[in-house]
A and B are shown apart, each in its own frame.
Chain A
Amino acid sequence: MSKNPIKVALIGNPNVGKTSVFNELTGLNQQVGNYPGITVEKKQGVCKLNETIKAKIIDLPGTYSLNASSIDENVVIELLLNKNDEDFPDVAVVVTEVENLKRNLLLFTQIKDLEIPTILVINMADRMKLKGIELDIPVLEKELKTKIALISSRKKIGIDYLKDLILNYNALSTEPCLNASSIDPEYFNNLRRAFPNQLLYKLWLVITQDVNFLNLDRNEIKSSFTKSHSDLKKLQQKETIKRYQFINDTLKLGQKIDVSKATDIRAKIDRILTHKIFGYVIFFGILMLIFQFLFDWSSIPMDFIDETFANLSSLAKQHLPVGEFTNLISEGLIPGIGGIVIFIPQIAFLFLFISVLEESGYMSRVVFLMDKIMRKFGLSGKSIVPLISGTACAIPAIMSARNIENWKERLITILVTPFTTCSARLPVYAILISLIIPEKRVLGFLSLQGLTLMALYLLGFGMAVFSAFLLNKYLKLSCKSYFVVEMPSYKIPMFKNVGINVLEKTKAFVTGAGKIILALSVILWYLGSHGLSDDFNNAEKIITQQNQNKTITTEEFEDQVNSFKLENSYIGYMGKAIEPAIRPLGYDWKIGVAVVSSFAAREVFVGTLATIYSVGSHSEEETTIKNRMAAEVHPETGNKIFNFATGISLLLFYAFAMQCISTLAIVKKETNSWKWPIIQLVFMSGFAYITSLIAYQFLK
């Protein structure tokens, strides 16, 4: 037998436990990437079948049928129809679940028509007794012309048998289990005569699906055999009805359900969780709990990471030879890496909660619940997931919009998600609020500063929804819009699945956005610590002359030199160059530098101001920088720089502006075009500028 791995495509409807089967087969031998040219996640792994033979398992995106409606589903069809694809499977493993066998088998019958050796996996076998379901496997195998593995990925039952079936895939029948061409014999006979060497069902899919084929002349087929759109739709409907008739007949023979045993707790829970009042109350209650835990739990590891990197930075400075590269390491690279690593706890906790909600089956109820509200603003119920995820980071949030089938709704979701208050805005909000909002209590117990922070979160969400409404009105994309959501059974989340998901998402954040942030921090460090002018090169001399008649400590002298150097560095020049444009908003050049540098990532704003205001020790950073910022006065007017008007102007700017290059990069990647990130940048930053301008001019 060949030592080449057997190529296995894992296919199935969403929520049938396909990922659990993939995890059981591959363990941690997984790789996550993208399909070439598109942004759909590609998961593959290796499974050891016996001592000598391995299988390469490709976990394809969940799909209900081979009639594609989203890019995820297109991936499945394109792979199954293209024998030249390097991943074209030797065997297809169709995963179904015992409670929804009827619906799940539709996809199975379509794949069988492609004459690919196919194994049917019936998952969640452990629930059969509970639900009063009995299956006659030999009868089902005979009718469906395949081998069946009855498994429970949760209880690890039947996995070895599935491996045996994969190992012996050559023995599987490739005969279709029904004759779908009988829906219009004349049409299909003509098609068969015209293309005798091609598989009939493949030709049918070429005619009805808008997918890329590498080895078929799509135009040739379509020009001769295409029918009107409505005729094709009618034929597709007939095909589906025929398949369901076959499935019904098969299940009558091979499945028995004892209705008295099928307790309906699920329907009762559904009625509460999707109730038009209680449903929302429960959801917002869960959200509040999540954010409470998210910030409370994250703060401990985040503080630890922050301190560790600050110590590493000091150690590097103390022990490495004095020089520019040492400065780059201690002031650029280590804080740069720290700036990525510090967000790992929040990202990990967020995906932990999201995974638990998804795994338990609750997220589908939330999507159903929110669809009613979101649809009024041109969004889908599925948009709620990116909007919630956006509170941690817009990057994974935008990526999570991939499962929205309707392109217009997906595009709107991608464009408005960055308005949601992400964790990178928090340090900016926190320091500005502490500067301009007094530490007062409202109604005796509510902190005014806390309420301001909450108002900023609501402002971001409100702006996202409002922008969606505008985009929905003005975007001239007429797309079919329908909403189908699976209501899976409630389950206790599997630790392994949750763990692998958290690991994958965190890794994607660190290796994706992380590399960009790291590269930018090197460039920003260079621009901030180098300059061309004589003033920059003679900073020590100039500061010494300025302080001739004063007594200052060495620390104060160094602070002043650093501040002077920064003012005359490349980035200082950039700040001064943009000063005329930002002065109407109440900002000076130093704030301008922080705003420009925070284009890399919003949280850089605080770090840049810390450097500009010459703050040394990180352990007292916030207090010190707060005092310095509070004391900062305008050299010409003598007025405080961080007054109420400037503070509000800055808060509004950061609430609305597209201050994140990584988000723009991911929008470009997701939309496959520069057009949308540019529109997003211009609209968000333009809106931020105008609102900040109005706020400052009104309040000053």
Chain B
Amino acid sequence: MDIQQILVYASLAVAVGFLVKKFFWKKRTKKSKPCGDDCACH
């Protein structure tokens, strides 16, 4: 594996990692309830 391939896989890992973190690993800093069960979406 040459340096260019390593960089490609590194970029791919960053891209996948970013999307996973963004959509599935979101840290909640404050208790929040899902909206939609009642009228109060706080």
Binding site for B on A (CB under 8 A): 36-38, 71, 74, 210-212, 321, 323-326, 328, 333, 406-408, 410-411, 477-480, 515-516, 518-520, 522-523, 526, 665, 668, 671-673, 675-676
Cα of A652 to Cα of B22 in the assembled complex, Å = 31
Complex interface: chain A residues within 8 A of B35 (CB): 407, 411, 671-673, 676
A323 and chain B: residue at smallest CB distance: B4
Per-residue A-contact encoding for B26-42, CB less than 8 Å = 1, 0 else: 00111111111011111
Counting residue pairs across A and B whose Cβ atoms lie within 8 Å, the total is 97
Option from A211, A326, A406, A520 in Cβ contact (under 8 Å) with B42: A211
Cα A237 to Cα B14 in complex, Å, equals 56
Secondary structure at chain A's binding surface: helix, strand, loop or mixed?
helix
Of B28, B32, B39, most A-chain CB atoms within 10 Å: B39
Please determine whether A324 and B39 come into contact, CB atoms closer than 8 angstroms. Answer: no
Known: A407-B40, A410-B41, A671-B41. A526 touches B4 (CB 8 A): no
B30:A326 contact, CB within 8 angstroms: no
Once the chains bind, are A477 and B39 in contact (CB under 8 Å)?
yes
Residue among B12, B28, B29, B41 having the largest count of chain A Cβ atoms under 10 Å: B41
Chain A residues, CB < 8 A from B8: 324-325, 328, 526
Flag if B41 contacts A665 (CB, 8 Å): no
Given A325-B4, A325-B5, does the pair A520, B39 have CB atoms closer than 8 Å? Answer: no
Minimum CB–CB distance for B18 against chain A, Å = 5
Most B Cβ at <10 Å: residue of A328, A516, A519: A519
Residue interface mask B2-20, A partner, CB < 8 A = 1: 1111011001101110110
B21 shortest CB reach to chain A, Å: 10
Closest beta carbon of chain B to A76's beta carbon, Å: 13
Of B29, B31, B36, most buried by chain A (CB within 10 Å of CB) is B36
Does the CB pair B19–A519 fall under 8 Å?
Answer: yes
A485 vs B14: C-alpha distance when bound (angstroms): 46
Note all chain A residues with C-beta closer than 8 A to B31.
Answer: 37, 212
Minimum CB distance partner of A526 in chain B: B12
Name the residue on A nearest B6 (C-beta): A325
CB-based contact B36/A479 at 8 Å: no
With A323-B2, A326-B4, A665-B23 already in contact, the answer to whether A406 and B29 are too (CB < 8 A) is no
Q: Which residues of B contact A407 (CB under 8 A)?
A: 35, 38-41
A406 CB → nearest B CB, Å: 7
Q: In whole angstroms, how far apart are the Cα atoms of A665 and B11 in the complex?
A: 22
A480 to B35 Cα, complex, angstroms: 16
Which A residue's beta carbon lies closest to that of B34?
A673
Residue among B3, B4, B30, B34 making CB contact with A675, cutoff 8 Å: B34
Q: Knowing A323-B4, A325-B4, A515-B18 are in contact, say whether A406-B33 is a contact too (CB < 8 A).
A: no
CB contacts (< 8 Å) of B15 on chain A: these are 518-520, 522-523
